[in-house]
Amino acid sequence: MLPSRAGPAVVEVHDLVKRYPRSDANAVDGLSFAVAPGEIFGLFGPNGAGKSTTVGILTTRLRATGGRALVGGVDVGRDPATARAQLAVVPQHNNLDRALTPRQNLVHHATYHGVSRREAQARAAELLDRFGLAERADRRIEAHSGGMAQRLMIARALTHEPLVLFLDEPTNALDPQTRLLIWGQIRRLRERGVAIVLTTHAMNEAARVVDRVGIVDHGRLLTCDTPENLVRGLAGDAILDLTVTPAPTDDPDALRAALGELDGVRKAERLALPAGPADRRAGAGLPGGVRAGLAGAGGGAALAALAARAGGGGLAALAGAGRLGRNGAGTNGGSPVAGGRGRLRFRLHLATDPAALLGPAVTVLAGRSAAVNAVDVGEPSLEDVFIELTGREPR
């Protein structure tokens, strides 16, 4: 589990354990990873997985029960004060000093880290400008929106030029402009050799900036690799979601098994049907996906075109027979309960081009007298990997 980039690790975590008092399970349970300078490391996991506890230990706010953690080469347990000179942290909650203006927040923070007042003033001015905060730098902090507070906290973290920056859920509940600005600044820091450890739920968004991802659950590291490798290794090359109405006598598990036996299918799983109309939300799990909508007037034609590309005669026949059109209309216009009755949703993880598999899949379905209601083609994302590893149950 060595850092992917050259150079010695700037964060090293070794068999880290944390058990809170009056708790019968470890919040962090033998975690190990390392981060290189200039690397962006994503620590992802469901709520309560131990991410924030890990960050808390690395930033000296929590004491580890076992194991070792070094930040900038300093043992955070043995010499927390020196460790704090190496790092900066941007927490989830707004912890700005409300007795001070934004500019004073930056200046004072820098002086807490031994920067001279003159230098602190210069850095504050530069950072306020870079984060688009110069205009309101001398107004009271209460008047600041969530996005401004977040930008200010990141700017503050940079005033003492840390070797490692910890970002806990940096873009939670922010507008797209602020998110873009923050991701841009994070990339810029990486170029300057700052190591960044970030935790987030906005995984697909973060996947574009992180170099490596560690997925944590129940205090353990489930996997750790580049986002590309993780996605390819665990979720396959593509995902095909099928919403179908099986023949009344057919067994859902047998149907899933039949789909899973197709060539090129790595795994077939049954998904819960969305509570609302199947059509409206079928594609929700596929952010980067292509939606092949079957509902409405164009549905049949679109499907026929798709089928033609894939060379699947069965699908064209189905579309031509108008069976799909009827089902689609029912879903759109009818009540959700009636529209969703008897339907099943299957997700096929593919090792091949989805277009090549669409025909065979429809052939299997047609052979079992099942009607196809919706087809979704998507690229798997980090979120799929995440769900795959940590399950679908909410925490």
Partner 1 sequence: MTALDTPTPLRPAVRPRPRPGAGRVFAAVLRRDLMVTGRELWVILVQVGLTPLFMLFVFDTILGGQGIVGRDFAGLFLPGIIALAALTTALQSVALPLVKEFGFTMEIEDRLMAPLPTGLVAIGKLVIATVRGLLAAVLIYPLGALVVGSAPWRPAGLPLAFLVALLGAWIGGAIGMALATTLPVQRINVTFSVILTPIIWTGCIHYPWPRLTMPWYQVVTALNPMTYVSEGVRGALLPGVPHIPAWVCLSVLTGAAVALTWLSVRCFSRRAVQ
Binding site for partner 1 (CB under 8 A): 7-10, 12, 14, 20, 37, 59-63, 68, 70, 72-74, 80-82, 84-86, 88-89, 91, 93-100, 105, 108-109, 111-114, 156, 163
Shortest Cβ 189–partner 1 spacing (Å)? 16
Give the chain's count of helices (H) and strands (E).
Answer: 16, 15
Q: How many whole angstroms separate alpha carbon 3 and alpha carbon 210?
A: 13
Place of tokens 């991802």: 213
Shortest Cβ 70–partner 1 spacing (Å)? 6
Q: How many whole angstroms separate alpha carbon 219 and alpha carbon 240?
A: 32
Shortest Cβ 93–partner 1 spacing (Å)? 6
Q: How many whole angstroms separate alpha carbon 268 and alpha carbon 255?
A: 10
- Report the residue number, 84 or 343, with the smaller CB distance to partner 1: 84
- Report the residue number, 63 or 139, with the smaller CB distance to partner 1: 63
- Report the residue number, 93 or 392, with the smaller CB distance to partner 1: 93
- Report the residue number, 97 or 175, with the smaller CB distance to partner 1: 97
Distances (CA, A) of 326 to 76, 223, 300, 319, 371: 64, 45, 10, 10, 10
- Report the residue number, 77 or 296, with the smaller CB distance to partner 1: 77
Angle between helices 354-367 and 313-320 (to 10 degrees): 60
Strand, helix or coil for residue 269: strand
Place of tokens 């049907």: 273
Q: Which tokens is 216 given?
A: 């944590």
Shortest Cβ 75–partner 1 spacing (Å)? 9
Closest CA relative to residue 348, chosen from 236, 190, 213: 236
Shortest Cβ 14–partner 1 spacing (Å)? 6
Distances (CA, A) of 360 to 307, 312, 313: 10, 7, 9
Shortest Cβ 375–partner 1 spacing (Å)? 49
Shortest Cβ 223–partner 1 spacing (Å)? 22
DSSP code per residue over 60-81: TSS--SEEEEEETTEETTT-HH
Residue 142 per-residue DSSP state: G
Strand, helix or coil for residue 190: helix
Shortest Cβ 71–partner 1 spacing (Å)? 9
- Report the residue number, 13 or 242, with the smaller CB distance to partner 1: 13
- Report the residue number, 12 or 169, with the smaller CB distance to partner 1: 12
- Report the residue number, 64 or 315, with the smaller CB distance to partner 1: 64
